[in-house]
Amino acid sequence: MSDTPVDAEEVRHVAELARVNLDEDEVEEFATQFADILDYFDALDEVPEVDAEPDLVNVMRSDEVRDCLDQSEALENASDAEDGFFKGPRVS
Amino acid sequence: MSLNIFVTEETVAGDDDGPLAGKTVAVKDNISTEGVRTTCGSAMLEEYVPPYDATVVERLKASGATIVGKTNMDEFGMGGTTETSAFGPTKNPVDESRVPGGSSGGSAAAVAAGEADLALGTDTGGSVRNPAAFCGVVGIKPTYGLVSRYGLVAYANSLEQVGPIGSTVEDAAALLDVISGADERDATTRFDQSAEMDAHPAEGSDYAAAADGDVDGLTVGVITDLLEGADDRVVETFEAAVSDLRAQGADVVDVSLESLEHAVQAYYVIAMSEASSNLARYDGVRYGLSTGKEGNWNDVYADTREEGFGAEVKRRILLGTYALSAGYHDKYYKKAQDARAWIKQDFDEAFAEADVLATPTMPVLPPELGESLSDPLQLYLMDANTVPVNLANLPAISVPAGEADGLPVGLQLIGPKFGEETMIRAASAVEN
């Protein structure tokens, strides 16, 4: 059994953090499935700490003005716009 | 009966001539096509029409190819059967009662059914190689950084690459020749203004010419760890294909990579974590589904996502959010990164013993439609042989190895970093 048990309350909490509403059936189903999946992920505990050189390097480009989408193209897929801006629901 | 290969059938003509003049290409529906809707197999993007082309699409058009449509896929690439698509499953052209694999199931099925000469898929944890194996065609997952991801709708950025699908190794390699190369709009293609552009590994490479079938003296390492859990019929077909390579002059050795038992765990933790961040952009405001509901931002945002996303996408966003949340980050995400580094080291050691590594592409034969959706964990385990390659940023190819019970079996060959030519050469010998 996983040492990080997942119950319906935990699923609701994570769903709220992720901003995804769920119906009650989904909450129950996910709680059961997440318990199985997280139990499987727990085997990562056995992985040793690994000293690895990150093979990442910064890749820079010069800060020059280039062609890009114009405002109307950027708004083409928006459901609502006003004065050339995206229009969304009120924030509070 | 329709196989449901395309989400959108629309013809886009390319330039008059070029290396792919006269060829038809199907494009996976998570690759942006200017003026042609790009749904990612999701209700969230059912009406989304990109205002620009992905770099790979620009290159396709410039190569003279004709695009014939946008292919069906698991929603946002999250699945291995093409059954999580909001537009219904695609059927396997070889056996219509079975899945074509996924997530690029429509692309592989298009080539297998003769609906297109070639196709583009994307591979985050096997999504090109899996459907290529299940449909009996060839699919290539390039080394991370060989092909531009600009215009690919993101699922898990650190793992995914656009890859070609064709009926033969040479066909798929010719498409790789067209799409690979540095792109200043994707810094992970190793474009660096301080370096010369011709430093990119695609410069000076000729992938199609590498398909010469010559494996004399090549060492093939069989990853024994990945044979253990596989279906006997798959292993038998795989071993026959490896014996055939030996008969053609290849040396065959066994290799073992202890870290691989953690690959599926590490892959899903990393992919889900990246997905939870990437898919935060679907807010219903800038593009995508708008429910038209009134209310405050957070409520409308959460409603939009309940309606627009299918179950598997919600599952991965939630598990990714969980793995990154306070108290669990070190336990899951950090350990997954350790496992990723360990797997890379194990591959480095294996390539000291062999030129290419071999496994069955999929441990199972193509499942029946509807068979595998109810148990997500079982579906994740089906990716055991493909995900290590993405975690290690390596190239791999799936080539038909033969059939078992009338169903295609794929042989996977893994190359060293930017070793596509060696890998393609070995794969072309499997076709001999």
Q: Is the pLDDT of residue B1 over 70?
A: no
Task: Report chain B's mean pLDDT, rounded to a whole number.
Answer: 96
Structure tokens at A27: 């909450």
| Minimum-distance CB partner of A21 among B302, B322, B341 | B302
pLDDT at B195: 55
State how far the Cα of B177 lies from the Cα of B396, in Å rounded to an integer.
Answer: 15
The mean pLDDT value for B370-381 works out to: 90
| pLDDT cut 90: percent of chain B above it | 92
Picking from B259, B265, B333 by the largest number of A CB atoms within 10 A of its own CB, the best residue to mutate is B265
Q: Tell me: the pLDDT tens digits for B287-306? A: 999 988 888 999 999 999 99
Q: Is the pLDDT of residue B197 over 70?
A: no
Q: Is the pLDDT of residue B346 over 90?
A: yes
Its ipTM equals 0.93
Q: Is the pLDDT of residue B266 over 80?
A: yes
Q: Confidence class of residue A66 from pLDDT cuts 50, 70 and 90?
A: confident
Q: Tell me: the pLDDT tens digits for A42-64? A: 999 999 988 877 767 777 777 88
Q: What are phi and psi of B274, to 5 degrees?
A: -65, -40
Q: Is the pLDDT of residue B28 over 70?
A: yes
Structure tokens at A24: 């009650």
Q: Is the pLDDT of residue B192 over 70?
A: no
| CA atoms lying within 13 Å on the CB side of residue B116 | 34
The mean pLDDT value for B106-111 works out to: 98
The mean pLDDT value for A17-31 works out to: 96
Q: Confidence class of residue A1 from pLDDT cuts 50, 70 and 90?
A: very low
Domain ranges, ordered by start, for chain B: 6-217+359-430
Contact between B265 and A34 using a beta-carbon 8 Å cutoff: no
Burial of residue B22, with CB atoms counted within 10 A of its CB: 0-12 exposed, 13-18 middle, 19 or more buried = exposed
Pick the CATH number of A8-46 from 1.10.10, 1.25.40, 1.10.20, 1.10.287: 1.10.20
How many angstroms away from the CA of A28 is the closest CA of chain B? 12
How many angstroms away from the CA of A44 is the closest CA of chain B? 6
Q: Is the pLDDT of residue B309 over 70?
A: yes
| pLDDT cut 70: percent of chain B above it | 98
Structure tokens at B243: 């014996």
pLDDT at A2: 47
Chain B residues whose beta carbon lies within 8 Å of the beta carbon of residue A45: 331, 335
Chain B residues whose beta carbon lies within 8 Å of the beta carbon of residue A37: 268, 319, 376-377, 380
The mean pLDDT value for B321-331 works out to: 93
| CA atoms lying within 13 Å on the CB side of residue B160 | 29
Omega before B103 within 30 of 0, i.e. cis = yes
State how far the Cα of B344 lies from the Cα of B115, in Å rounded to an integer.
Answer: 38
CATH fold of B6-217+359-430: Amidase signature (AS) enzymes (3.90.1300)
Residues of B belonging to the active site: 28, 103, 127
Burial of residue B231, with CB atoms counted within 10 A of its CB: 0-12 exposed, 13-18 middle, 19 or more buried = middle
Chain A residues whose beta carbon lies within 8 Å of the beta carbon of residue B143: none
Quick one: three-class SS letters along B272-305?
Answer: HHHHHHHHHHCCCCCCCCCCCCCCEHHHHHHHHH
Q: Confidence class of residue B194 from pLDDT cuts 50, 70 and 90?
A: low
State how far the Cα of B100 lies from the Cα of B94, in Å rounded to an integer.
Answer: 8
| Minimum-distance CB partner of B332 among A18, A41, A88 | A41
pLDDT at A50: 86
Picking from B143, B274, B335, B337 by the largest number of A CB atoms within 10 A of its own CB, the best residue to mutate is B335
Classify B158 as helix, strand or coil: coil
Q: Is the pLDDT of residue B137 over 80?
A: yes
| Minimum-distance CB partner of B317 among A18, A41, A89 | A18
pLDDT at A58: 75
pLDDT at A53: 75
Task: Report the chain B residue with the minimal C-alpha distance to residue A60.
Answer: B192
How many angstroms away from the CA of A85 is the closest CA of chain B? 10
Task: Report the chain B residue with the minimal C-alpha distance to residue A37.
Answer: B377
Picking from B158, B286, B303 by the largest number of A CB atoms within 10 A of its own CB, the best residue to mutate is B286
Chain A residues whose beta carbon lies within 8 Å of the beta carbon of residue B265: 40-41, 43-44
Chain A residues whose beta carbon lies within 8 Å of the beta carbon of residue B192: 57, 59-60
pLDDT at A52: 79
Low-confidence winner among B157-161, B189-193, B317-321 (lowest mean pLDDT): B189-193
Domain ranges, ordered by start, for chain A: 8-46
